Structure 1
Amino acid sequence: MKKTGILFIAILFALVSFAQEKVTLSGTVKSAASGETLINASVEVQGGAAGTTSNEYGFYSLTLSKGSYTVSYSAVGYETVTETIQLNGNKVQNVLLPDQVVNLDDVQVTANTKGRTIRGTQMGVERLTMKEINTIPMLLGERDILKAIQLLPGIKSAGDGNSGFYVRGGSTDQNLILLDEANVYNASHLMGFFSTFNSDIVKDVTVYKGGMPAQYGGRLSSVLDVKMNEGNNQRYAVSGGVGLISAKLNVEGPIQEDRSSFLVSGRRTYADLFLPVFGDSTNKNTRLFFYDINAKMNYTLGEKDRLYLSGYLGRDVLKLEKQFGMDWGNKTGTLRWNHIFNDRLFSNTSFIYSDFNYNIAINNANNDLNIFSQIRDLNLKEEIQWYAGSRHSLRFGFNSIYHTITPGEITSSGKTSYNDLYLQDRYSWETAVFATDTWSAASWLNLTFGMRLSSFAIFGPGDFYEVDGNGTITDTLSYRKGALVKNYWNMEPRIAASFILNSSTSLKASYARNAQNLHLISNSAANFPTDKWVASTNSIKPELVDIYSMGWYKNLSGNRYELTAEAYYKAFQNQIDYRTGADVYTNDAIETQLLSGIGRAYGLELLLKKKQGRLTGWLGYTLSKTERKIAGINDGEWYNARQDRTHDVAIVTNYQLNKKWNLSANWVYYTGDAVTFPSGKYVIDKQVVFYYTKRNAYRMPAYHRLDLGATRQLRTRKKNTSSELAFSLFNAYGRENAYLISFQQNDKDTDITEAVQTSLFRFVPSISWHFKF
């Protein structure tokens, strides 16, 4: 026993001595020109001793043995800074990176830093730089984040000109869309033709298509995490742009130099101002426009504390004379506090507000109708990152959201009296705790273990319904205010591994389970503001998915090219669809209108990306299948989900012709959407009635389109000033892609049924001017 005790003390003394030889290098990486913190900046110790990347707020931490090191700091679009650092103890090293000055003969890096894709365990993650997004030709020249990500494999457009998107077989509501951590419930303007995100003030865009990290939750398929710029704390700057249908202006600058800054941005369309040109004078009462405002402030409280306050307000307005009016939009706000406890422990605390609502006014001679609907969140989030050592990095915390949903209020006034209709408000509390450990187990093996425990508690007041398989209410349960109706608990594990085959090749595998308790009720493939959000109830269960992924990753030709192949399989539970003839907008017992069942989605994604040189871009291809199986639909057999598409191809190119001209083009092709068309018809009292059999058993015509773009840099005489003209041609060869196909009787022979195709855009040219000073 004595020898054992001595041995134990000797081992403990050795471990302590070893630990004392380890020290930590930490700090923040920022832009020298603006003072903006840099996300995913690479921090590499020369010789391969260690390496890491900065987090969402520019903070990094490395654990090393005592000694002298040469450390390189780099980020996309910035010059590399190399420092020789003597580590005799823990050291804080803050770094400022100068903007990159690119000559045409130089290597131009426009994608992820070297080695991150190969070594990291995260699968299905895509990051686009704002430079890439801004050079992609878009509809009417409006630079659009959501349109840009739809050109990536595994992410599919919801339709021509639509900003809604599907990710790996998931529906549009299964995407978690965040703006500075705030949930954006409707991320589109003008019925989906433009997104809510003003690309001029966006700092980072990250898309998780597969097993999302444990700090994200509440959706099944993907996360789109958008972060706003913080504002220039070195000098005042003004930027903006003027296009065919919209204009925007951004102002930023220091409140106190080096310590605090602000950013304010506004955007508005003005297409409605030209409506009188195309009609009679009554068009002066017609309105169709949107506006949005972004604002952000940040303040450095000290060496270890920083405070952020950001907000967004966006609204669409549609008014047709005095008969119809509609407006809808989002409001978000985020108050965030960063605190560095020590060189290994970083904390982020956020208070978040989110609101989406719409109003509809219908006016006639005898009665005025008003319709209102809303979803509102109050959210508290705490997240801690602990850089435990050279091999372990942990992230843990909690998230608590209080949801208030007003499904619909219909009120009337006027000569004709109608009974007002108030659908019951629903209240719920969504809470989760999470933890993730990223472990460098060996030089050839990296592992990530994560767990998310989520709770969804439903509260009164209100009536809740028990429903049988035929949609008939069997019991009504009444609850007082604050009474617990139901609480759903779900364990959501995540595990991922990367196997490093050599310095340029790796294999990855992952598994994740996600739960979703908020559901979007929509009858169309496109996103409309009147789509209805409902929460899980005692009858509507949480949606679940198990995601299995495998991938192969290869860097080619000295990291000039990146080739990836990812395969996935997703098994869905409690998927929601409609009963035939469902009324989901005025029915308080919405459970009676819905059916639920299982689903599956599987596919293969290929991506070849050229990241350096004058010519950059990518070729993406997706082969996939998405199906549902729900009792009561298609005789209980598997049927195509409406987002099912077999083939999806995107080619995106960008060519730097010279210092003045940049050329770009993209071509897309995808299999037509799964739709339900009539299989026959019959006549009742001389009226033709169409007969429908299988759901989503038919296909729209295949879609393809070519877009062209060119950017001309204009001469400027002052430093820090730039100006450019952007030209684009959407649908360059005039393809008449089907937006809608309807059926009608031939005017001359009622026995003949005609399919009528509606197409939206052919040969849409645009020009816009962008400036910064």
Structure 2
Amino acid sequence: VLKVATSLPGISTAGEGSSGFNVRGGKTDQNLFLFDNAVIYSPQHFFGIFSALNSFTLGQVEIYKGSIPAEYGGRLSSVFDLKTKKATTDKLSGEGSIGPVTGNLALEIPVVKDKSSLMIAGRGAYANWILRSLDEESLNRSEASFYDFTATYEHQINENNQIKGTAYTSRDDFSITSDSLFIYENRLFTLNWNHRINNKNNLNLTIANSQYDFDIQFKGNSSDNFKLGYKINETGLKLKLRRLISTRFVLDYGIASKLYTIEPGSLRPIGDESLVSPVEIAKERGLESAVFISGDIDITKKLSVDAGIRFSVFNALGPSIQNTYQEGQPKSSETVIATTEYGTNEVIETYGGPEFRISARYLLAEDFSIKASFNNSYQFIHRLTNNTTASPIDTWILSDLNIKPQQSNQYAIGLFKNLKENIYELSLEGYYKTSDNILDFKTGSQILLNENVETEVLQGQGKAYGLEFLIRKNFGKLNGWFGYTYSRSFTKFDSEFNEERVNDGMFFPSNYDKPHDISIVANYKFTKRFSFSTNFVYQTGRPVTFPVGNFTFNGSQFVAFSDRNQFRIPDYYRLDIGFNVEGNHKKNKLAHSFWTFSIYNVLGRNNPYSVFFVSEQGKIKALQTSIFTIPVPSITYNFKF
């Protein structure tokens, strides 16, 4: 599902090997991923190549890029609301797939006929046997594997009460060298109670807990073996009520709160002979709460409006030690004027305010409409990365005394047209977004295991605008869509101090500014058993900073760099194809099966993942790394019963 989402206008990734999404010029940390109402922090396996959410378990997916409902908060750019499907309650069923790299199996098990069911699903990658069979020594000593497990139980107590519980866990193990192992894990649990009060009122209560952590284990020489770890945990409660005031007016309202606990980093020696000194960064805690109310009203047969307000409050909590810095001076260890210690649950700082959400639709004709929206949002949690692309080992921090929450305002307007009884859909939508307190870092900053990371942080302004075009054919032997996005994204970091100013305080392209993005998805069904699919992607190369010269000063050589993000890596494009062969369509058989033959990167395009520079014989040489440089074939056997 998430791979399909990136082929839609306005949603992109920084490139192969990136685990984040950029929505309408936003940062990767500005997207809220919900799985049965619990937050999932790393929704992808193996650095973005596979989705961490099992498609066999998904039933409903809603993606909000613009007019985000008032019940959602905490992120600026988008909401991906994914829910597990309702398992069958009358007979055992399931589906699975087997391939050379991954295997997947999902079962739907009736517990009480017509009342309750259990769905369990597991998926794993076993690519290690391929790596170990290669002649290349650097690869056959590496490791790449993952698994995820999902379990959902639903019970219809009576006609007015239903409960649903979901548990999910995943783990990735990744190593490209013999001495380092990366491990990152997701874990979540949700419990939902849906209660019909009467014919006009409904109540929904959700309790959720999410955790994400990673470990880096280094085993080289016995004297420098270490383990580096990070963990974030959140527990949330949400109460939502819906009132049907009339057939033309629906009111949603409620409260939500979540408690964050972050372990920003720890360094521990491995083995008795290791000389690595242990480091433990103090925990961070915060409480994010909100009340919300929104109404969806059909004012006339042609005009409908959905308007709401969400009031968000964030409290940074102790225990914590916070620095106060001298006003009129850059933040550094030399400008600290006071250090304050806060006790457990003592409020360090409070942020928040109203968030307005409004959207309207006007029917110009039965199949032709114009839509417009405005929303503003707060975000109190930030992803720390000084890489161009997002990585599973990036860390998250909370707003506190020295780091302010991010804010944004977004305006959007679009035209939407259906043709030939909804066989074709056509849309054209434009947006403009401004942001404040966007995070970035000083050049050469050290953010891992830094007790005073605010001295490395820059907070500035952002702006993004774009135009999104989509034409889709929903039915027929040939179906699919063509999507094009023109999008620009800029950031600005200005200050009276040189060390806190980037590119002379002017707006410059962000790391994920890619003006042109084209996606073509096509499926053709030759017969009931044979079908063909293809996917083509083109994106403008993302911005990078290049060295532009070198010089000698006091006998030492130095490199002079361009303005930040002044250049771009080569454009990205990729073509994938697939051929499906289904089994016969007899009704009385054990399972329905089909084979999928696919080739990823048919053209063998050597798309750059990153560009770096080395010095050879006094000259600077540019090199690039790529994830896939050749066509990658695959075969999968699928079955469903």
Q: If the TM-score is normalised by the length of the shorter chain, which range does it land in?
A: over 0.9
* Partner in structure 2 of residue 4 of structure 1: none
Match of 1:456 among 292, 296, 314: 314
* Partner in structure 2 of residue 576 of structure 1: 439
Is residue 641 from structure 1 mapped to residue 519 from structure 2 by the alignment?
no
Is residue 399 from structure 1 mapped to residue 267 from structure 2 by the alignment?
no
Question: 2:451 is aligned with what amino acid?
Answer: D
Tell me if structure 2 keeps the 8 A contact 1:306–1:337. yes
Question: 2:596 is aligned with what amino acid?
Answer: A
Tell me if structure 1 keeps the 8 A contact 2:225–2:276. no
Match of 2:228 among 371, 375, 378: 371
- Structure 2 matches for 1:110-125, cutoff 5 A? none
Number of aligned residue pairs: give it: 626
Deviations 1:314-370 (A, max 9, x none): 001235787333311100001111111111212111110100011222222224312
Tell me if structure 2 keeps the 8 A contact 1:260–1:299. yes
* Partner in structure 1 of residue 625 of structure 2: 758
Tell me if structure 2 keeps the 8 A contact 1:163–1:195. no
Question: 1:737 is aligned with what amino acid?
Answer: N
Is residue 566 from structure 1 mapped to residue 429 from structure 2 by the alignment?
yes
Tell me if structure 2 keeps the 8 A contact 1:349–1:383. yes
Question: What is the CA distance between 1:489 and its match in structure 2?
Answer: 1.9
Cα gap change, 1:322 to 1:692, in 2 (>3 Å):
closer
Tell me if structure 2 keeps the 8 A contact 1:467–1:591. no
* Partner in structure 2 of residue 154 of structure 1: 10
Question: What is the CA distance between 1:719 and its match in structure 2?
Answer: 4.7
Is residue 202 from structure 1 mapped to residue 44 from structure 2 by the alignment?
no
Tell me if structure 1 keeps the 8 A contact 2:548–2:560. yes
Question: 1:738 is aligned with what amino acid?
Answer: P
Q: Distance in 2 between matches of 1:686 and 1:361?
A: 39
Question: 1:178 is aligned with what amino acid?
Answer: L
Q: Distance in 2 between matches of 1:409 and 1:753?
A: 36
Question: What is the CA distance between 1:687 and its match in structure 2?
Answer: 7.1
Deviations 1:40-90 (A, max 9, x none): xxxxxxxxxxxxxxxxxxxxxxxxxxxxxxxxxxxxxxxxxxxxxxxxxxx
* Partner in structure 2 of residue 433 of structure 1: 291
Question: What is the CA distance between 1:683 and its match in structure 2?
Answer: 4.6
Aligned-residue identity in percent: 34
SS class of match (2:56): helix
Match of 1:626 among 484, 489, 514: 489
Tell me if structure 2 keeps the 8 A contact 1:185–1:356. yes
Deviations 1:228-266 (A, max 9, x none): 123211110132101121101111120011000001111
Aligned CA RMSD, in angstroms, stands at: 1.9
Deviations 1:94-129 (A, max 9, x none): xxxxxxxxxxxxxxxxxxxxxxxxxxxxxxxxxxxx
Q: Distance in 1 between matches of 2:84 and 2:600?
A: 28
* Partner in structure 1 of residue 498 of structure 2: none
SS class of match (2:547): coil
* Partner in structure 1 of residue 532 of structure 2: 663
Q: Distance in 2 between matches of 1:325 and 1:165?
A: 25
Cα gap change, 1:611 to 1:321, in 2 (>3 Å):
closer
Structure 1, gaps ≥5 residues long: 1-144
Q: Distance in 1 between matches of 2:207 and 2:338?
A: 39
Match of 1:419 among 237, 254, 277: 277
* Partner in structure 2 of residue 532 of structure 1: 395
SS class of match (2:627): coil
- Structure 2 matches for 1:66-465, cutoff 5 A? 145-279=1-135, 286-318=142-174, 323-363=179-219, 364-412=221-269, 414-465=272-323
Structure (1/2) with the larger strand percentage: 2
Q: Which moved more, 1:761-770 or 1:157-166?
A: 157-166
* Partner in structure 2 of residue 99 of structure 1: none
Question: 2:73 is aligned with what amino acid?
Answer: G
Is residue 681 from structure 1 mapped to residue 587 from structure 2 by the alignment?
no
Is residue 721 from structure 1 mapped to residue 591 from structure 2 by the alignment?
yes
Question: 1:769 is aligned with what amino acid?
Answer: Y
Question: 1:338 is aligned with what amino acid?
Answer: N
Question: 1:218 is aligned with what amino acid?
Answer: G
Tell me if structure 1 keeps the 8 A contact 2:123–2:149. yes
Tell me if structure 1 keeps the 8 A contact 2:108–2:117. yes
Question: 1:187 is aligned with what amino acid?
Answer: P
Deviations 1:102-161 (A, max 9, x none): xxxxxxxxxxxxxxxxxxxxxxxxxxxxxxxxxxxxxxxxxxx22211000000122025
Cα gap change, 1:250 to 1:416, in 2 (>3 Å):
closer
Question: 1:766 is aligned with what amino acid?
Answer: S
> What's the TM-score, normalizing by structure 1?
0.78
Q: Distance in 1 between matches of 2:484 and 2:100?
A: 33
Q: Distance in 2 between matches of 1:181 and 1:532?
A: 22
Q: Distance in 2 between matches of 1:685 and 1:243?
A: 60
Cα gap change, 1:321 to 1:577, in 2 (>3 Å):
closer
Q: Distance in 1 between matches of 2:518 and 2:299?
A: 37
Deviations 1:696-737 (A, max 9, x none): 111111111111111110136535731010111111122221
* Partner in structure 1 of residue 497 of structure 2: none
Tell me if structure 1 keeps the 8 A contact 2:381–2:397. yes
Tell me if structure 2 keeps the 8 A contact 1:394–1:437. yes
Deviations 1:169-202 (A, max 9, x none): 1011100011111101111211222121111111
* Partner in structure 2 of residue 53 of structure 1: none
Tell me if structure 2 keeps the 8 A contact 1:563–1:609. yes
Tell me if structure 2 keeps the 8 A contact 1:230–1:297. no
